[in-house]
Amino acid sequence: GAVVSQHPSWVICKSGTSVKIECRSLDFQATTMFWYRQFPKQSLMLMATSNEGSKATYEQGVEKDKFLINHASLTLSTLTVTSAHPEDSSFYICSALDRGRYNEQFFGPGTRLTVL
């Protein structure tokens, strides 16, 4: 299957700082990527849809000014958690839509964010 990478795989930061997470599709172009968040023993919750060349669309209840998404190229989307707080600590996972493979979604390995 197609490969999606995320960087960093884990990050620890102080409260109030901003953290950027990258999601890359390594062997295909992805005009659409998705960002999910997973709390322990919970389901993956869709946060937003990242569209190349246009603004991201956010799910209800997700603050767009806190979770900044940029999809600057066909292979890269970034999620920036601004002014992070301990309650933002979670596992963030991205997925990329491969339109050449019947629109199958391929997931990245995830990023573990811990805010102290």
- Min separation Cβ 76 and another protein, Å: 17
- Determine if 93 is a binding residue for another protein (CB under 8 A): yes
Out of 28, 106, 113, 115, the only residue in the binding site for another protein (CB under 8 A) is 106
Separation between Cα atoms, residue 83 and residue 36, nearest integer Å = 19
Out of 12, 15, 64, 104, the only residue in the binding site for another protein (CB under 8 A) is 104
Nearest partner of 24 among 11, 15, 14, 33, judged by Cα: 33
Q: Which DSSP state fits 17?
A: -
Could you write out the DSSP letters of every residue in 44-103?
Answer: EEEEEEEETTS--EE-TT--TTTEEEEEEETTEEEEEE-S--GGG-EEEEEEEEEGGGTT
- Determine if 76 is a binding residue for another protein (CB under 8 A): no
- Determine if 46 is a binding residue for another protein (CB under 8 A): yes
- Min separation Cβ 83 and another protein, Å: 26
- Determine if 112 is a binding residue for another protein (CB under 8 A): yes
Q: Which DSSP state fits 29?
A: -
- Determine if 96 is a binding residue for another protein (CB under 8 A): no
- Determine if 107 is a binding residue for another protein (CB under 8 A): yes
